[in-house]
């Protein structure tokens, strides 16, 4: 903190200036604490600033500001939002980028539903609002809870804040008894500009774009701050319901409108992909004059019965998709190329740019992908940018699409300095000096240092605590950097996170008074860590940071093996490429041999394995809770479909079976419980007969699952 005069010595003008400064400081500290990963003030400094503010106010009561930090309830940074588990998961959407993909989306939907090209199939098309999603729960017509999306399963309870948003009705007439309305909180361009102007004048934080402003405003612990921010809300979907809203998407949106919600006026019912595309073009043409940010158009199958049949992939619905607007471009100077080492050892070239505004956002870094990309070749050796390479000092084109990391798309050779040298990609790791090698067929050069490479270790840890993984409050990327280099209480591998409190001897002695940590925040961190010892299997698998194992892969493996014990013993006994454990692994739908080999190899590397074992010893890994499939005749059974199905496509049959708790396998074995054989069934039916496995036809299958 700045050295300051004793309060009794302050002149009136000095007192006024200091109250302004403290209001700003505390406002920023609140914001940094709640919206960023890291606090800008330690608890002690925060408390001292608040105390000084109060002392000055008591000496000069007439100088107390209207927005005095002393009056801000709930703004103490020690409290966070409560957590809300969504009854119905909040999903994201798949993306399309090209016009042709609209017809492909329609074709995929038809194929799944077994509809011919001429069968009627309508979609709604509506703007994709660039804000943040919110779920509003009404019970008996009264708003009882508002929650952010969070990770889709658990969000933050922002009820008090939602109550301050004028577009959100607090009571509903004639709504189902339970109704969760979902939609987007956003800020208009005009309100955003005015807010930033106001903040710039008062020295407050200015926001990079309306979406950040909306997010920062909704996620305020003090609802009074949210109330002062001009947030709006469009309703476009729903979650838990006690009675259906309508039979169609369009009807449901009309119903939400009749209930008093704002719905987007550009929502249109389209009968063909051509009409969808035409509406997309029309919305794109209006984009600049809408007065709020949109980043694409969302298409949704109109009939809710078809939406239900189409169901979901692991994180996105099959019945909807987002058609994104094309990326935005700008030109600037490439000042340097840095090499970053990722958690799997990949050396990634990063372009450091002279800052430039691309579509309203200031960009100073962009990805250059890999060494071939810099040299002007793609992964197959074919020229890109007509073979033009990229050199430091070049005039380059920056391309940004939505939230994706900006990239360098092109280079202007006419502006290249005559002495510009071709870029030489390093052959050793810039972080640990180990050799960096490119394997046959791999576009990426990788550090071979493994666990000894600090950059890999840090990136692995950052991934481990990230959102879809352990998501530990108060332990973000910045704190990981700090702990990694800490000599007294280091965190070098994931297990160290969970022994932190124990190593601190439980008395906060070592952690306290360290950069950004006071007694309160240290205690809070230990609590946050402890609360994550219990972790769902899928999250743990994703968190391990194994190459090729993403969130989807984690879910697939978890849903198959169900417990850590089963997974671990299968990986221990598996050998890459052969044997029953390997066969079982690659038989999981969606698990290819690349992912499988990566996981098995990791489990056989002694150092990696020991590190995983040390971690798991600290955890309570939750088994996969099978969905409530009571009443399902196929729960826990292994099914095989063969022959032609006529009333349902194979994809739909599989999706239905899985939703009812069954596993669907590709071939008949002694583990098969039931074979569903349509006309034309051949060897599988024969094998089932030999093995004495129950076999039924499609009608019997439909009768079996009817009404479920
Ligand atoms: S529908 C099950 N409609 O986009 C799918 N989402 O990328 C429910 N979004 O998380 C989403 N405008 O926050 C839908 N008209 C719209 C939307 C929209 C914006 C957001 C939403 C979602 C994200 C997915």
**What is the pLDDT averaged over residues 499-520?**
76
Query: Is the confidence at residue 66, as pLDDT, over 70?
Result: yes
Catalytic pick from 128, 407, 462, 532? 128
Q: Which two tokens stand for residue 117?
A: 């090209």
CB of 296 closer than 6 angstroms to any ligand 1 atom: no
CB of 133 closer than 6 angstroms to any ligand 1 atom: yes
pLDDT at residue 2, rounded to an integer = 42
Per-residue pLDDT band at 204 (split at 50, 70, 90): confident
CB of 645 closer than 6 angstroms to any ligand 1 atom: no
pLDDT at residue 42, rounded to an integer = 62
Tell me whether strands 328-341 and 142-148 are parallel, antiparallel or unpaired.
unpaired
Among 134, 211, 236, say which to mutate for ligand 1: greatest number of ligand atoms within 8 Å of CB: 236
Sheet holding 178-186: strands in order across? Answer: 142-148, 132-139, 178-186, 232-241
Query: Is the confidence at residue 508, as pLDDT, over 80?
Result: no
> How do residues 125-163 score in pLDDT, each as one tens digit?
999 999 999 999 999 999 999 999 988 888 999 999 999
Residue with the nearest Cα to atom 23 of ligand 1?
Answer: 92
pLDDT at residue 1, rounded to an integer = 39
Q: How far apart are CA 45 and CA 26, in angstroms?
A: 10
Residue with the nearest Cα to atom 21 of ligand 1?
Answer: 133
Q: How many CA atoms lie within 13 A of 560 on its CB side?
A: 22
Query: Is the confidence at residue 73, as pLDDT, over 50?
Result: no
Q: Kindly give the distance from the C-alpha atom of residue 133 to the centroid of ligand 1, in angstroms, as a whole number.
A: 7
> How do residues 606-652 score in pLDDT, each as one tens digit?
999 999 999 999 999 999 977 677 788 898 899 999 988 888 888 88
Among 129, 239, 279, 292, say which to mutate for ligand 1: greatest number of ligand atoms within 8 Å of CB: 129
Query: Is the confidence at residue 75, as pLDDT, over 50?
Result: no
Q: How far apart are CA 221 and CA 232, in angstroms?
A: 18
CB of 121 closer than 6 angstroms to any ligand 1 atom: no
> How do residues 324-367 score in pLDDT, each as one tens digit?
998 788 899 999 999 999 999 999 999 999 999 886 678 999 99
pLDDT at residue 35, rounded to an integer = 47
Quote the distance between the C-alpha of residue 186 and its chain's center.
18
CB of 18 closer than 6 angstroms to any ligand 1 atom: no
Catalytic residue list contains 520? no
CB of 236 closer than 6 angstroms to any ligand 1 atom: yes
Residue with the nearest Cα to atom 15 of ligand 1?
Answer: 128
Q: Kindly give the distance from the C-alpha atom of residue 235 to the centroid of ligand 1, in angstroms, as a whole number.
A: 10
Query: Is the confidence at residue 259, as pLDDT, over 80?
Result: yes
pLDDT at residue 166, rounded to an integer = 94
**What is the pLDDT averaged over residues 540-558?**
93
Sheet holding 674-677: strands in order across? Answer: 663-665, 638-642, 674-677, 694-696
* Ordered structural domains, the chain, with CATH: 7-72+327-415 (2.40.50.140), 83-320 (3.30.470.30), 536-622 (1.10.150.20), 638-705 (3.40.50.10190)
DSSP secondary structure letters along 620-640: EEEPPPPP--TT-TTTT-EEE
Sign of CA dihedral 470, 475, 477, 483: negative
pLDDT at residue 90, rounded to an integer = 93
Lookup result for tokens 């001429």: 118
Q: Which two tokens stand for residue 287?
A: 């984009």
CB of 112 closer than 6 angstroms to any ligand 1 atom: no
Q: Kindly give the distance from the C-alpha atom of residue 151 to the centroid of ligand 1, in angstroms, as a whole number.
A: 14
Q: For residues 505 and 672, which has the higher predicted lDDT (pLDDT)? A: 672
Three-class SS state of 688: helix
Q: Is there a contact between 341 and 135 (Cβ–Cβ < 8 Å)?
A: no
pLDDT at residue 235, rounded to an integer = 98
pLDDT at residue 380, rounded to an integer = 80
Q: What percent of the chain has pLDDT over 90?
A: 61
Among 317, 322, 323, say which to mutate for ligand 1: greatest number of ligand atoms within 8 Å of CB: 322
CB of 320 closer than 6 angstroms to any ligand 1 atom: yes
Looking at beta carbons, which pairs linking 383-391 to residues 24 or more positions away fall under 8 Å? Answer: 385/410, 385/411, 388/413, 389/422, 389/423, 390/334, 390/351, 390/423, 391/334, 391/416, 391/420, 391/421, 391/422, 391/423
Query: Is the confidence at residue 206, as pLDDT, over 80?
Result: no
């Amino acid at each position: 903190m700045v050295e300051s005069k004793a309060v009794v010595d302050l002149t009136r003008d000095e007192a006024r200036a200091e109250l302004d400064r403290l209001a700003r400081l505390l406002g920023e500290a609140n914001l940094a604490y709640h919206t960023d990963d890291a606090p800008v003030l330690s608890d002690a400094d925060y408390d001292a600033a608040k105390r000084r503010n109060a002392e000055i106010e008591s000496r000069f009561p007439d100088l107390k500001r209207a927005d005095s930090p002393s009056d801000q309830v709930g703004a103490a940074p020690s409290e966070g939002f409560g957590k809300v588990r969504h009854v119905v998961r909040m999903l994201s959407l798949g993306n399309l980028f090209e016009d042709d993909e609209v017809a492909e989306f329609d074709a995929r939907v038809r194929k799944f539903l077994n509809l011919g090209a001429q069968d009627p199939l309508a979609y709604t098309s509506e703007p994709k609002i660039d804000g943040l999603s919110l779920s509003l729960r009404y019970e008996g017509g009264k708003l009882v809870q508002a929650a952010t999306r969070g990770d889709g399963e658990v969000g933050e309870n922002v009820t008090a804040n939602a109550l301050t948003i004028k577009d959100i009705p607090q009571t509903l007439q004639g709504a189902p008894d339970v109704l969760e309305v979902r939609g987007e909180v956003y800020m208009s361009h005009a309100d955003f500009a005015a807010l930033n102007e106001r903040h710039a004048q008062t020295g407050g934080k200015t926001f990079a774009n309306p979406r950040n402003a909306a997010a920062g405003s909704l996620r305020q612990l003090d609802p009074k701050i949210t109330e002062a921010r001009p947030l709006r809300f469009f309703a476009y979907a729903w979650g838990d319901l006690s009675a259906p809203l309508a039979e169609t998407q369009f009807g449901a949106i009309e119903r939400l409108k009749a209930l008093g919600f704002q719905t987007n006026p550009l929502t249109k019912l389209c009968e063909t992909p051509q009409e969808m595309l035409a509406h997309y073009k029309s919305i794109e043409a209006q984009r600049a004059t809408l007065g709020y940010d949109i980043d694409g158009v969302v298409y949704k199958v109109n009939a809710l019965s078809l939406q239900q049949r189409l169901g979901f992939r692991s994180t996105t619905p099959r019945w909807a998709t987002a058609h994104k607007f094309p990326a935005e471009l700008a030109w600037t100077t490439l000042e340097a190329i840095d090499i970053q080492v990722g958690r799997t050892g990949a050396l990634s070239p990063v372009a450091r740019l002279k800052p430039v505004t691309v579509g309203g956002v200031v960009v100073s870094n962009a990805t250059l992908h890999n060494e071939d990309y810099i040299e002007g070749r793609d992964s197959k050796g074919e020229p890109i940018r007509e073979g033009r390479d990229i050199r430091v000092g070049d005039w380059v084109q920056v391309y940004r699409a939505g939230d994706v990391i900006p990239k360098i798309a092109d280079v202007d050779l006419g502006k290249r300095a005559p002495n510009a040298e071709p870029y030489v990609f390093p052959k050793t790791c810039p972080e640990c000096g180990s050799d960096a090698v490119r394997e046959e067929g791999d576009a990426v050069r990788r550090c071979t240092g493994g666990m000894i490479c600090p950059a890999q270790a840090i990136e692995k840890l950052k991934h481990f605590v990230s959102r879809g993984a352990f998501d530990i409050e108060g332990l973000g990327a910045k704190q990981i950097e700090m702990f990694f280099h800490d000599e007294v209480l280091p965190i070098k591998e994931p297990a160290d996170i969970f022994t932190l409190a124990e190593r601190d001897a439980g008395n906060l002695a070592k952690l306290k008074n360290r950069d950004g940590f006071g007694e309160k925040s240290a205690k809070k961190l230990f609590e946050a860590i402890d609360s994550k010892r219990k972790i769902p299997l899928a999250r743990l698998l994703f968190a391990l940071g194994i190459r090729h194992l993403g969130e989807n892969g984690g879910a697939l493996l978890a849903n198959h093996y169900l417990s850590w014990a089963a997974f671990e013993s299968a990986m221990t006994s598996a050998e890459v490429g052969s044997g029953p454990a390997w066969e079982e692994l690659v038989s999981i739908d969606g698990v290819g041999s690349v992912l499988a080999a990566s996981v098995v190899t990791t489990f056989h590397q002694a150092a990696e394995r020991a590190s995983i074992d040390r971690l798991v010893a600290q955890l309570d890994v939750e088994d996969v809770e099978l969905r409530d499939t009571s009443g399902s005749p196929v729960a826990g059974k292994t099914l095989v479909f063969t022959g032609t199905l006529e009333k349902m496509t194979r994809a739909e049959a599989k999706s239905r079976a899985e939703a009812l708790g069954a596993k669907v396998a590709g071939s008949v074995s002694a583990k098969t419980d039931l074979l569903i054989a349509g006309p034309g069934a051949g060897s599988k039916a024969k094998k089932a007969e030999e093995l004495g496995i129950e076999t039924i036809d499609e009608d019997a299958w439909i009768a079996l699952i009817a009404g479920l």
